Amino acid sequence: MREVAIVAFGQSDHVRDSAQTSEVEMLMPVLHDVLRRTGLRTRDIGFTCSGSSDYLAGRAFSFTMALDGVGAWPPISESHVETDGAWALYEAWVKLLTGEADTALVYAYGKSSPGDLREVLTRQLDPYYLAPLWPDSVALAALQAQALIDAGRTDEAELAAIADRDRTAAAAHPHAQRRGPRPAGEYVVAPLRTGDCPPIGDGAAAVILAAGDTARRLAAAQGRRPAWIRGLDHRIEAHSLGVRDLTDSPSTRLAAERAGVFRRPVDTAELHAPFTSQEVVLRDALALDDTVRINPSGGAQAANPVMATGLIRLGEAADRIQRGDSDRALAHATSGPCLQQNLVAVLEGEA
Amino acid sequence: MAEIRTAPLVVEFPFTRSLGPVQSAFLTGLRERTVLGVRAGDGRVIVPPAEYDPVTAEEIRDLVEVGSAGTVTTWAWNPAPRRGQPLATPFAWVLVRLDGADTALLHALDVPGPESVHTGLRVRIRWAAERTGAITDIACFTPYDGPGSGAEPAAHSGEFADPVTGITTPARLDYTYAPGRAQSRYLRALAGRKTIGERCPSCRKVYVPPRGACPTCGIATDTQVEVGPRGTVTTYCIVNIKARNLDIEVPYVYAHIALDGAGLALHARIGGISYDEVRMGLRVEPVWTGDGTFPDHYRPTGEPDAPYDSYKELI
């Protein structure tokens, strides 16, 4: 099988409201950043894949506007997923494995500021039994959190400590929207407090993938090593929330198994847990112990540009490997209510 | 920094969805105050019922009737109800395992405060006064001090008179649209009766209206260029069907117009000429009405038609 690596990662500053820029205006500097680092021009890219959601902007086919930023005319080899960009990376990874391309540009962006994110996210739910009740994203996460508390798996103090650790890490992050610890705050939907919920905001991220010697060359040009993707898999839970055991994530465990997470310990894990309580579920499913550094980037608590947050987890993990701060890292991305879909990657530096 | 332009944007649809046989039986049952579940391959009773087995994905069709009372399996206190949610006063979201079911149903529980809720609480359905065959036929749950029956749920044919075969679920989302830098510049200039394009620094093409990036070079368009006001019809169509909320007599012509100096055509209505006299190459100019912030339409200038070669690259 071909070896594929992440060779560059970039992201925008994450802000509460980016009304002064359109999606493509927000995205372009990030695209140019990863292209500049690798010395590639858009026309050198073999495959382009993006992740975003029209529901955030409230405009059909809004992703086609962002395509202007990659120079998509005359037509390029390109695809789009209507979910987090981590799944766009998965598609690009498969494309590189087939040998149809040697390089891929993967990007994702989300502007939550135009709408009411909690309402917008209800539209991804089962349209027959759930969507007519408008259960918002915090409410559903709170049901999961209460189930964990009832099962004796966590308590509010531990959730506050998770938020504190992520926000402390985010204090040093140049792109974070929310930096440094803050009080746990009032209940949004109990048992979740404002401190357990991610910031709502706008942002973008991009990654460049390359295969084999191309990856080595593009990384060496930056004086860095490639972050090799040793395994990548994604799985989904049963459709109905009431069918699932909300305190467990068998889909994450299965994806991790298929990605090879359990073969050797990882030193770092970037977990996409929009709500603190979801980290408790993920840590158990991934069998992460105290030796693993979790979310050195600050995770989704630092910034949560919906549709890009998962791709950023892969990018942050890869960046640490490229810098030599990690040798074997796990990156996780999620989509849907209560960790409905999960993607797990294992990244390693050159052996 | 220049003023940020924004505008309200409402996206509203009455989503019309057809139902599978299991969903149809379940929602019709709710209308008749009967709760149905479906038996999965592993013997579990799934409520609300699915058309396909959550484990094996096989079709499942064996319906059973479960109780209208049940037990809270988890809950969350919602201090500030939002638009569209089942109750307008603070309530608890609950997952309820109805008596006879093995899975839980999401709904609202009407209680005065969080101290009145706990996992394991017995609750029962409060039916909506008017029921149509929808999940909202359950108005909410209320506390209930009766015991569970413990009886095996009985088989049910799923047959009712006048079954519900589809649902219409209105959905509305409110946005504040912000067009960004390039389009804001364009709209501001347009309000001053000028049409501004933006030039790509690499290929020199002038985009009108500008979207901020050159789709060929993938870079920001960085120079504003005034184009027009006159232009050439590059292609057109004749509209014969009146659009709702649009007070324009049909037939009329809608055209692509390459403004002088622009690298691509924009589109607008052509007026001041009979629809059957509009042609490719026709020279036109914008017509502004009242205090309009954009041209109402374009009309002929009276100049000779532009030769085909002058606009063939812009079609």
| CB A86, CB A333: distance < 8 Å | yes
User: Residue B33 — pLDDT band, cuts 50, 70, 90?
Assistant: very high
Q: State which H helix or E strand residue B299 sits in.
A: strand B297-300
Q: Are residues A48 and A72 in contact, defined by beta-carbon separation less than 8 angstroms?
A: yes
Residue B78 has its nearest CB partner, among A139, A144, A241, at: A139
**What number is the average pLDDT over the span B124-136?**
98
CATH code at position A28: 3.40.47.10
pLDDT score at A351? 59
pLDDT surpassing 70 at residue B2: no
Count of domains observed in chain B: 3
Residues of B in contact with A65 (CB under 8 A): 211
Domain count within chain A: 2
Whether A151 and chain B come into contact, CB under 8 Å, resolves to no
Q: Specify whether A76 is located in the same domain as A103.
A: yes
Angle between helix A23-38 and B180-191 (nearest 10): 140
| Model pLDDT, residue A283 | 98
Q: What integer best gives the mean pLDDT of chain B?
A: 95
Q: Does one domain contain both B207 and B290?
A: no
Q: What is the ipTM of this complex?
A: 0.95
Residue of B nearest to A237 (CA): B54
Q: Do the chains contact at A127 and B15, CB–CB below 8 Å?
A: yes
Give residues 175 to 234 of B whose Cβ lies within 8 Å of A.
175-183, 211-220
One domain, residues A165 and A216: no
Same domain, A207 and A139: no
Using pLDDT thresholds of 50, 70 and 90, give the confidence band for residue B247: confident
Residues of chain A found within 8 Å of residue B220, distances taken between Cβ atoms: 25, 28
Residue A337 and residue A245 share a domain = yes
CA distance A226 to A206: 16
Say yes or no: B156 and B243 in one domain: no
- The arrangement of strands across the sheet holding A78-81 comes to A78-81, A47-51, A103-111, A202-211, A4-11, A227-236, A341-348, A328-335, A268-270, A293-294
Q: What is the mean pLDDT of residues A152-168?
A: 97
In a domain, B203, yes or no: yes
Look at residue B313 and tell me if it is in a domain.
yes
Chain B contact for A174 (CB, 8 A cutoff): no
Of A113, A135, A239, the CB nearest to B50: A239
Asked if A19 and B219 come within 8 Å (Cβ–Cβ), the reply is no
Q: Do A25 and B182 touch (CB under 8 A)?
A: yes
Which residues on B lie below 8 Å from A128 (Cβ)?
Answer: 17, 19, 23, 27, 48, 135, 167
Q: Please, which pLDDT band fits residue A83 given cuts at 50, 70 and 90?
A: very high
- CB B213 to CB A25 under 8 A? yes
Residues A8, A131: one domain?
no
Minimum CA–CA partner of B133 in chain A: A128
Q: Is residue B5 in a domain?
A: no
Q: Are residues B219 and B264 in the same domain?
A: no
Q: Are residues B188 and B291 in the same domain?
A: no
The enclosing domain of B269 has a CATH number of: 2.40.50
Q: Is B252 on the interface with A (CB under 8 A)?
A: no
Question: What does the alpha-carbon distance between residue B300 and residue B97 come to, in Å, rounded to a whole number?
Answer: 71
Domain assignment present for B140: yes
pLDDT at A291: 96
Q: Same structural domain for residues B150 and B206? A: no
Full residue range of the structural domain in which residue A91 is found: 4-115+200-220
* Phi-psi label, residue A68: left if phi above 0, alpha if psi -120 to 50, beta otherwise: alpha
Q: Quote the percentage of chain A above a pLDDT of 70.
A: 100
Phi/psi of residue A316, nearest 5 degrees: -65, -45
Residue B159 lies in a domain: yes
pLDDT at A181 over 90: no
**Three-state secondary structure call for residue B116:** helix
Predicted confidence (pLDDT) per residue in A51-71, tens digit:
999 999 998 888 888 999 999
Domain identity same for B308 and B214? no
Which tokens belong to A98?
Answer: 């087939």
Same domain, B195 and B254: no
Residues of B in contact with A116 (CB under 8 A): 173-174
Q: Are residues A275 and A155 part of one domain?
A: yes
* Contact status of B108 with chain A (Cβ, < 8 Å): yes
Judge if B120 and B247 occupy the same domain. Answer: no
- Average pLDDT of the segment spanning B118-127: 98
For B34-66, give one letter per residue: b (16+ CB within 10 A) or e.
bbbbbbbeeebbbbbbbbebbeeeeebeebbbb
Q: Residue A110: is its pLDDT beyond 90?
A: yes
- Residue B19 touches chain A, beta carbons under 8 Å: yes
Helix, strand, coil percent values for chain B (each to nearest 5): 10, 40, 50
Q: Choose among A23, A134, A242: nearest Cβ to B103.
A: A242
Query: Which of B94, B95, B125 best tests the A interface by mutation, with the highest count of A CBs <10 A?
Result: B95
Q: Is residue B1's pLDDT more than 60? A: no
In angstroms, the separation between the Cα of residue B278 and the nearest Cα of chain A is 31
- For residue A82, the model assigns a pLDDT of 96
Predicted confidence band of residue A350 (pLDDT cuts 50, 70, 90):
confident
pLDDT digits (tens, 9 = 90+) for A278-316: 999 999 999 999 999 999 999 999 999 999 999 999 999
pLDDT at residue B3 greater than cutoff 80 = no
As a whole number of angstroms, the distance between CA A219 and CA A213 comes to 10
Percent with pLDDT over 70 in chain B: 99
All residues of chain A having their beta carbon less than 8 Å from the beta carbon of residue B4 are 19-20
pLDDT tens digits along B65-81: 999 999 999 999 999 99
B168-194 residue pLDDT tens? 999 999 999 999 999 999 999 999 999
Query: Taking residues A102-113, what's their average pLDDT?
Result: 97
- Are both B157 and B209 inside the same structural domain? no
Helix axes A85-98, A309-323, angle to 10 degrees: 60
Question: Dihedral of the CA atoms B39, B139, B68, A239 (nearest 10)?
Answer: 20
> Could you tell me if B67 and B215 lie in one domain?
no
Using the predicted structure, report yes or no on whether residue B244 has a pLDDT greater than 90: no
Q: Which residues of B touch A193 (CB under 8 A)?
A: none
Distance from CA of A122 to the nearest CA of B (A): 10
Residue of A nearest to B55 (CA): A238
Asked whether residue B121 is domain-assigned, the answer is yes
CB contact under 8 A, B215 and A73: yes
Buried b (16+ CB within 10 A) or exposed e, B260-276: ebbbbbbebbbbeeebe
Q: Which residue of B has its CA nearest to A132?
A: B169
Contact B63, B54 (CB under 8 A): no
Portion of chain B with pLDDT greater than 90, in percent: 89
Residues A340 and A241 grouped into a single domain: yes
Pairing of strands A103-111, A202-211: antiparallel
Q: Residue B189 is part of which domain span?
A: 180-224
Residues A236 and A314 grouped into a single domain: yes
Residues A215 and A315 both lie in one domain:
no
pLDDT of residue B115: 98
pLDDT at B146: 82
Q: What count of other Cβ atoms lies within 10 Å of the Cβ of residue B306?
A: 19
Weakest-pLDDT range from B94-98, B269-273, B274-278, B292-296: B292-296
Query: Is it the case that residue B32 has pLDDT exceeding 70?
Result: yes
Write down the pLDDT at residue A65: 87
DSSP conformation class of B3: P
Tell me, yes or no, whether B245 and B102 share the same domain. no
Does A144 share its domain with A210? no
Residue B6 inside a domain? The answer is no
Which residues on B lie below 8 Å from A340 (Cβ)? none
pLDDT in tens, A7-17: 999 999 999 99
Task: Tell whether B2 is covered by a domain.
Answer: no
The span from the CA of B258 to the CA of B265, in Å, is: 4
pLDDT tens sequence across B131-155: 999 999 999 999 999 887 777 899 9
Least confident range of A40-49, A76-85, B91-100, B244-253: B244-253
Q: Which of A93, A47, A110, A95 is nearest to A344 (CA)?
A: A93
B82, B35: one domain: yes
Contacts of B290 (CB under 8 A, 6+ apart): none
> What secondary structure, in 3-state letters, does chain A show?
CCCEEEEEEEECCCECCCCCCCHHHHHHHHHHHHHHHHCCCHHHCCEEEEECCHHHHCCCCCHHHHHHHHCCCCCCCEEEECCCHHHHHHHHHHHHHHCCCCEEEEEEEEECCCCCHHHHHHHHCCCCCCHHHCCCHHHHHHHHHHHHHHCCCCCHHHHHHHHHHHHHHHCCCCCCCCCCCCCCCCEEEECEEHHHCCCCCEEEEEEEEEEHHHHHHHHHCCCCCCEEEEEEEEEECCCCHHHCCCCCCHHHHHHHHHHCHHHCCCCEEECCCCCHHHHHHHHHHCCCCCCCEECCCCHHHHCCCCCCHHHHHHHHHHHHHHHCCCCEEEEEEEECCCCCEEEEEEEECCC
